[in-house]
Amino acid sequence: ARQALFQAQKMEAVGQLTGGIAHDFNNLLQAIGGSLELLERRLAAGRTDVGKYVAATRSSVERAAALTQRLLAFSRRQPLKPEAVDLNALVTGMRDLIDRSVGEAVEVALELGGGLWTARADANQLENALLNLAINARDAMPDGGRLTIATANVHVAPGDGNAELKAGDHVMLAVSDTGVGMPPDVLSRAFEPFFTTKPIGQGTGLGLSQLYGFVHQSDGHIRIDSEEGRGTTVTIWLPRGSGTAAERPEPCAVAPLPTA
C-alpha cells in the first residue's frame, strides 16, 4: 500500500537522537571501565601481558570518539544563506555530477517546469540535498532503474491551504525513483537522525534528517511517498523567492495540491 510520511509525525526525532546517543555512549564507557578494571587486576598481580586489555580500551575509545564526531557533524549546522535560487538551473548544472553518481544502470530524467519561479533557499544546501537524494535513489535501485527530477510552480489560493502546504506561492522539487521502496517501519523512521538500513560505512542515516531540518528552516515542506517494490518520491516545497516582476516570468504550469 502507498504510504506517506508527513512533517507533523516525527518531531520526536531530536529526543530519540539524544536518547540513542547517550545509550550507545554509555555502553562504550562501561566497556572501557571493564577493560581498565581487568588491566588493573593484571598489573596488581605483577603481570605484563596486558596488550589485549589496552587494545580493547583503545578500540572502545575510538568508537566513542567516532560517535561524538558524528554528533558534532550533525549539530554543526552552518547558518543558512537564503537567496533566490533558480531550481531548473541548479538541477541542470548538477546533471553531470548526478549522472556520474548514479552510474550507468540508472537513467536520469528531468521534468523541469516552464516559467519556474525562483525559490528562497540556501543554494549550497539545496545542492547537497539533491545529491543526497540522487544517491539514496541509486542505492534503492541496485539493478538499475529510473531517477526522475521534477520541478513545478505550486500556487495555493487563500483558503485552499492545508496543514502540509499553506496558502501562497511555492516551488516544488521532487526526486523519484523506481527502486525498492520503503516498508512502513522504515518510512516512519526515515527522518530520524542516524536511522539507516545500510551497512556501516555506507549509510550515516543523516541524509534525510538533514534535509528535513534544512527544509523546515527554509520555511518549506517535505513529504515522502513510497511503495514497496515500486519506488519512492521525496517532494519538497520551498517558498517562492523574491525578485522583480521582470525576473519572474509568470507560471506556465501549476502543479496540483498534494493529496493525503
Which residues contact ligand ADP by CB under 6 A?
136-137, 140, 177, 179-182, 186, 190, 195-198, 203-209, 232
Find the largest Cα–Cα distance for the chain.
84
- To ligand ADP, the closest distance from the beta carbon of 252 in angstroms equals 29
- Tell me which DSSP letter residue 253 carries: -
Find the residue with minimal CB distance to ligand ADP: 207
H or E stretch including 166? none
Which CB, 10 or 155, lies closer to ligand ADP?
10
- To ligand ADP, the closest distance from the beta carbon of 139 in angstroms equals 6
| Residue 37 CB neighbours (<10 A) | 11
Q: Using only C-alpha atoms, what is the Rg of the chain?
A: 23
- To ligand ADP, the closest distance from the beta carbon of 22 in angstroms equals 21
Residue tagged 548538477 (cell numbers): 94
Give Cα 168 distance to the centre of its chain.
25
Which CB, 32 or 206, lies closer to ligand ADP?
206
CA atoms of 210 and 213, how far apart (whole Å): 5
**Cα–Cα separations (whole angstroms), residue 159 to 163, 198, 258:** 11, 42, 15
- Tell me which DSSP letter residue 216 carries: H
Which CB, 60 or 232, lies closer to ligand ADP?
232
CA atoms of 34 and 188, how far apart (whole Å): 37
- To ligand ADP, the closest distance from the beta carbon of 64 in angstroms equals 21
| C-alpha cell of residue 143 | 539493478
Which CB, 93 or 183, lies closer to ligand ADP?
183
- To ligand ADP, the closest distance from the beta carbon of 98 in angstroms equals 14
CA atoms of 149 and 177, how far apart (whole Å): 9
Which CB, 156 or 224, lies closer to ligand ADP?
224
The alpha helices in the chain, defined as continuous H runs, are 13-44, 51-75, 87-102, 123-140, 184-187, 207-217
> 44 by DSSP, 3-state: which?
helix
Which CB, 3 or 204, lies closer to ligand ADP?
204
- To ligand ADP, the closest distance from the beta carbon of 225 in angstroms equals 11
- To ligand ADP, the closest distance from the beta carbon of 182 in angstroms equals 5
Give Cα 86 distance to the centre of its chain.
21
Which CB, 60 or 176, lies closer to ligand ADP?
176
